[in-house]
Amino acid sequence: MRHILLLGGTTEASMLATALAERGERAVLSYAGRTEAPRAQAIPTRIGGFGGVQGLADHLRRGGVTHLVDATHPFAARISANAIAAADLAGVKLLALTRPAWEACPGDHWIRVADTKGAVAALGMDPIRVFLALGRQTIGDFAEAPQHFYLLRFVDAAMPPALPRHHLVVDRGPFSLAGELALLREHRIEVIVAKNAGGAGARAKLDAARELGLPVVMIDRPFIPDRPQVGRVAQVLDWLDHGVVRGV
Ligand code: 3Y8
Ligand code: NAP
């Protein structure tokens, strides 16, 4: 009987977990343990790192895992690279479930940058009111531009960052257009900084920016080495049944 390890932490991973439960698959969803109360899942979960590539390869071997599905976030580049190397070491089949990147629509005003350092530079020197919709882990990069006002949004309450002018909102997505419009208006936001995460869970802020005519500094996805990859849950289920990646 096949045994699936699902690297989770995204809306798509939760949807796949539900589909696997409905099929009675033997599967476990893995969280890194980044948040205090991760969403409950339809399949058993495990929480915490594996200890690098070797740790993940050992986990795959010891656990008798036959299929590894990487449904982590497009910016979770380290775990995704580890999954490729560990699956190879352990001789386990690997497939990534990744949502397509967002693309600018008519009316969008995006300034594309390669990383958070590029985002800091794109904000310029003149003080401006920024919605920094990046979560908590990369906030430190903006300490070199303390002149701006930063609206921050974290999943969990945390120590206030070393940004002298900031307002912290604690909220987890998915977010709504009405909620994003109200937030941007309340804090008189002039520019949004976002990762090109893709998916529906965080895109409302982009639709709100377009409606308000606000620019978006859009951080492109980091490099992830080549691996078999699909965009839909149905394709993962088909791969489990037929062992090949198909359009479905
Ligand atoms: C721990 C699991 C689900 C999955 C929900 C999606 C949607 C809501 C939108 C904004 C952007 C951001 C952030 C975001 C979104 C979904 C999805 C998504 C962005 C949870 C979750 C975990 C995390 C980790 C957390 C990061 C942070 C990033 C907040 C759960 C809720 C900004 C990414 O405090 C920290 O250390 C948080 C760290 C990685 C990025 C960062 O650098 O701070 N996600 N988010 C997962 C684990 O432990 O393995 O708690 O339930 C998952 C979700 N977050 O099933 O409902 O699918 O993308 N998550 C970004 O996209 O820019 C918020 O505010 O507009
Ligand atoms: P990352 O930088 O790619 O990974 C750093 C380390 O965290 C990994 O080497 C691994 O530790 C551990 N790890 C990451 N994801 C894991 C998982 N699903 N299960 C077990 N261990 C995991 O990861 P990240 O960007 O911090 O993302 C962490 C989690 O948050 C992932 O589940 C991701 O899907 C979710 N998430 C991230 C973002 C984002 O913007 N980065 C957005 C939404 C959700 P070891 O080396 O010890 O194994």
pLDDT digits (tens, 9 = 90+) for 72-82: 999 999 999 99
pLDDT digits (tens, 9 = 90+) for 117-150: 999 999 999 999 999 999 999 999 999 999 999 9
Taking the centre of ligand 2 as the mean of its atom positions, its distance from the CA of residue 76, in whole angstroms, is: 5
Q: 33 in ligand 2 pocket by Cβ < 6 Å?
A: no
Could you tell me the CA-to-CA distances from 202 to 46, 80, 180 in Å, in that order? 25, 21, 10
Strand locations in the chain (E): 3-7, 26-31, 45-47, 67-70, 93-97, 110-113, 129-132, 149-154, 166-170, 191-195, 216-219, 229-230
Q: 82 in ligand 2 pocket by Cβ < 6 Å?
A: yes
* Tokens encoding 27: 């599967």
* Tokens encoding 155: 């999943």
Taking the centre of ligand 1 as the mean of its atom positions, its distance from the CA of residue 1, in whole angstroms, is: 32
Helices 11-22 & 233-242 angle (0-180, nearest 10): 50
Q: Which of 111, 130, 132, 131 minimizes the C-alpha distance to 122?
A: 111
- The domain defined by 3-100+224-242 folds into Rossmann fold (3.40.50)
DSSP state letters, 168-200: EEE--S---HHHHHHHHHHTT--EEEEE---SS
pLDDT in tens, the chain (248 residues): 899 999 999 999 999 999 999 999 999 999 999 999 999 999 999 999 999 999 999 999 999 999 999 999 999 999 999 999 999 999 999 999 999 999 999 999 999 999 999 999 999 999 999 999 999 999 999 999 999 999 999 999 988 788 999 999 999 988 999 999 999 999 999 999 999 999 988 899 999 999 999 999 999 999 999 999 999 999 999 999 998 898 87
Which CATH code for domain 110-219?
Answer: 3.40.50.720
Q: 14 in ligand 2 pocket by Cβ < 6 Å?
A: no
Q: For residue 81, which ligand has an atom nearest its CA? A: 2
Residue keyed to tokens 């945390």? 158
Taking the whole predicted model, whether its pTM rises above 0.95 is answered as yes
Q: Do domains 3-100+224-242 and 110-219 have the same CATH topology?
A: yes
Domain boundaries, the chain: 3-100+224-242, 110-219
Taking the centre of ligand 2 as the mean of its atom positions, its distance from the CA of residue 182, in whole angstroms, is: 31
Could you tell me the CA-to-CA distances from 141 to 116, 123, 240, 246 in Å, in that order? 7, 13, 41, 41
d(CA 153, CA 225): 30
